[in-house]
Structure 1
Amino acid sequence: MPAVPETKATWTNDVDALDSTNLNAYLRDPVRFLMRKPSAMLRQATNQAIANNTWTALTFGVEDWDDDPDGVGGHSTSSNTSRYTARYPGIYLLGGGVGWAASNAGVRGSRWARNGTALNGSSTLEPPTASGTAYYAARAIRVELDEGDFVELFAFQNSGGSLSTTVATSEQPSMAVDWDRLIVA
């Protein structure tokens, strides 16, 4: 089980206590974690149809990066592609947005969910653009995740029928996840 290294020095002023084991545990390991803290940038490269009046988890098939201290990451491009799963407990910063195909009817929305449940204060609803495709930013929020918890970005539209996301280069739906800090009890 991965763990965030903690630095709780317990030795006294005894110089002999500053051996390689203590230095690794109290200095090297936390520094290595912070230099490679969990982080991912995910994008959608294939249009996804979003049903009318339905919150739908976005799927992400492209990882610009997905890294953590163990080199495993929290996203899969082959299963549960809508999810980023925390491998380390902590507070995570979430950001992203949805690119939509052209339609001037209804509204567009996004919201974040933890373990499939919408996060309070994370929803956005915006009017559509008059014409052309458009990118709608999701709220940037911080969320507490335990090991094994997952987050998803959901999209919403009510144009009267199914509406697809757009994957034009600058308008690709995206999700960014960054480990921010340890939860201090």
Structure 2
Amino acid sequence: MKQRILVWALTLVLLAGAWGVSKATLPDDASTAAFPTVAALDEPASVRNLEVTVTDVHVASRVTDADGWSAEGTWVVVDLEAASVVTQEAAILGLAELVVGDRTFSATDRGTTFAKQRLVTGVARAGSLAFELPADALVGTATLRLGVPNGSPNEVLLDGLIELPIVLDDLPVEVEVLLDENGWAR
């Protein structure tokens, strides 16, 4: 009887240990997951070959640019300044996404936006990114993700990602927002 209790107790200890190991083990994709630099509004954030300062965030029902292009909808517009840090070779703001919940939206390339803008080393350029969202997506917190691609267009190095949390509930909906012209930062 004593031996049977000892076997059951040892079994329970081993099961508890296996459960603990399974909870402490990282997911399979942990070795390739990015560890982003978290940015704040009006504060520069730097990673590998990218330095970005997000200067303003707007929500609008209509966006326009200086060339006369416009579009109606539900838009999140991000004004920013960006520069490459190390080299101009292949320095393009290729990753510009807005993550809202489990949905990811890419910056539009319609109109004159900063999407896919070539960056200059040490000299900031300025412009706007525009994200068209469904009306029901303007709740909660979104995450702006920016990066310079490493080879393929949406692949950035593990330490080459900048993220900025945006509380969408706090932003008033403007009737119209004019996209900043792409140019040198002031």
TM-score, normalized by the shorter chain, greater than 0.5: no
Instruction: Give the helix-richer structure, 1 or 2.
Output: 2
Larger Rg: 2
Normalising by structure 1, report the TM-score: 0.36
Structure ranking higher on relative contact order (CA contacts 8 Å, 6+ apart): 1
